C-alpha cells in the first residue's frame, strides 16, 4: 500500500467512527506542528537505557524472585495455537513482546485487576489473561483499530474464547478509553503501556496510569527508547526503574 493510500484509508476509517474524532484531531496536530515529538530526547535515553539494561530473565528474577522457563513449557500449546492464528490473520500487526515479564508481573502481584494500552493481535493480553484466569481477575485493555487496514475486527484476534470472560476491551483512543476504564475500576495491580508512542502521549498516560497503580503494583512500559518520556517520568517521580533489553528494544519496569 502506498503512503498516500494508507493516509487516505486511515482518514476514511476515522470518518466512519465519530467516537474517534477527538483522536483524529490529536493525530493531525501530532503529524503537523508536533512532528518532532515522537523522537524527543531519544539519544539521551538510549545511552541511559543501554548503560543499565538487563535481560528479561534477570529482571524477573531480581524484581519478582521468579524463574521464567515454566511459562513457555506450561503454555506451549496455547502459544502455538496463537501463533498459528496470527499467521492466518489477514491484517498484519506487531508480534509478541516480552510475554514472560508481563505474565510474571501478574503472578508476583497475584493480580486481580490489570490495565493495558495497545492490544494488536493480543499477545500481551494473552500473557496477562493466562495469569488472571487463575484468580478470576479482569484485564481492561485499550486499543484503537488499524484503520488503514480495516483491522477493527482483528484487535485481540489470537486471544482464545475461553479467556475472554475476564477481558474488557475498550475500542477507543487511550484518552477516551482510560477515563472509561478508571470509572469501572480505580486500583490496578499491574499496568502495561504499549500504545501511543509519542512523547506527549506517553507523559499524559504514564501520569494517569501511575495514579491508579497500587503500592507494590508493577508498571511496565514497552519501547521506552523511542524518546525520553519514560526516563523523564521516572526522574520526575524519583523512581528507580529496571530496564530490560528485548529483541533490540528497551522495556521499562518497576514496582511502585
Tell me if 243 sits within 8 A of 250, measured CB to CB.
yes
What's the grid cell of residue 200? 506527549
Choice between 196 and 208, CB closer to ligand SAM: 196
Among the listed ranges 42-50, 80-88, 91-99, 239-247, the one in contact with ligand SAM (CB under 6 A) is 91-99
143 binds ligand SAM (CB under 6 A): yes
Choose which of 45, 195, 228, 241 interacts with ligand SAM (CB under 6 A).
Answer: 195
Q: How far is the CB of 200 from ligand SAM (least distance, A)?
A: 11
Choice between 97 and 225, CB closer to ligand SAM: 97
Tell me if 122 sits within 8 A of 89, measured CB to CB.
no
From the list 217, 244, 226, 227, the residue with the least C-alpha distance to 108 is 217
124 binds ligand SAM (CB under 6 A): yes
**Sign of the dihedral through C-alpha 93, 143, 101, 82:** negative
Q: Residue 233 — left, alpha, or beta (φ > 0 → left; ψ -120 to 50 → alpha)? A: alpha
252 binds ligand SAM (CB under 6 A): no
What's the grid cell of residue 105? 508481573
Choose which of 68, 106, 173, 253 interacts with ligand SAM (CB under 6 A).
Answer: 173
Choice between 205 and 235, CB closer to ligand SAM: 205
Choice between 23 and 189, CB closer to ligand SAM: 23
Choose which of 97, 137, 156, 217 interacts with ligand SAM (CB under 6 A).
Answer: 97
Tell me the CA distances in angstroms from 154 to 146, 163, 202, one per residue in order.
Answer: 9, 16, 24
Tell me if 100 sits within 8 A of 138, measured CB to CB.
no
Choice between 131 and 216, CB closer to ligand SAM: 131
Among the listed ranges 58-66, 77-85, 132-140, 189-197, the one in contact with ligand SAM (CB under 6 A) is 189-197
Q: How far is the CB of 70 from ligand SAM (least distance, A)?
A: 20
Choose which of 194, 208, 232, 245 interacts with ligand SAM (CB under 6 A).
Answer: 194
Choose which of 20, 79, 115, 119 interacts with ligand SAM (CB under 6 A).
Answer: 119
Tell me if 220 sits within 8 A of 191, measured CB to CB.
yes
| Integer Cα distance of 206 and 241 in angstroms | 14
From the list 213, 188, 195, the residue with the least C-alpha distance to 132 is 188
Q: Which residues bind ligand SAM (CB under 6 A)?
A: 23, 93-94, 96-97, 117-121, 123-124, 142-144, 146, 173-174, 194-196, 201
Amino acid at each position: 500500500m502506498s503512503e498516500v493510500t494508507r493516509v487516505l484509508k486511515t482518514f476514511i476509517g476515522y470518518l466512519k467512527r465519530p467516537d474517534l474524532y477527538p483522536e483524529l484531531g490529536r493525530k493531525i496536530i501530532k503529524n503537523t506542528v508536533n512532528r518532532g515529538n515522537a523522537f524527543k530526547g531519544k539519544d539521551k535515553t538510549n545511552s541511559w537505557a543501554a548503560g543499565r539494561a538487563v535481560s528479561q530473565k534477570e529482571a524477573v528474577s531480581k524484581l519478582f524472585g521468579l524463574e521464567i522457563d515454566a511459562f513457555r513449557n506450561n503454555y506451549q500449546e496455547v502459544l502455538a495455537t496463537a501463533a498459528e492464528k496470527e499467521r492466518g490473520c489477514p491484517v498484519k500487526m506487531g508480534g509478541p513482546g516480552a510475554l514472560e515479564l508481563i505474565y510474571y508481573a501478574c503472578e508476583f502481584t497475584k493480580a486481580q485487576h490489570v490495565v493495558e494500552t495497545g492490544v494488536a493481535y493480543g499477545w500481551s493480553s494473552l500473557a496477562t489473561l493466562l495469569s488472571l484466569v487463575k484468580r478470576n481477575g479482569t484485564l481492561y485493555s485499550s486499543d484503537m483499530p488499524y484503520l488503514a487496514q480495516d483491522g477493527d475486527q482483528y484487535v485481540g484476534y489470537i486471544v482464545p474464547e475461553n479467556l475472554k470472560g475476564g477481558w474488557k476491551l475498550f475500542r477507543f483512543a487511550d484518552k477516551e478509553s482510560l477515563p472509561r476504564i478508571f470509572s469501572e475500576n480505580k486500583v490496578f495491580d499491574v499496568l502495561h503501556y504499549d500504545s501511543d508512542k509519542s512523547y506527549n502521549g506517553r507523559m499524559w498516560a504514564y501520569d494517569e496510569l501511575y495514579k491508579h497503580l497500587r503500592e507494590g503494583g508493577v508498571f511496565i512500559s514497552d519501547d521506552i527508547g523511542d524518546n525520553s518520556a519514560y526516563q523523564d517520568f521516572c526522574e520526575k517521580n524519583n523512581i528507580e526503574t529496571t530496564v530490560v533489553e528485548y529483541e533490540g528494544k528497551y522495556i521499562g519496569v518497576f514496582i511502585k
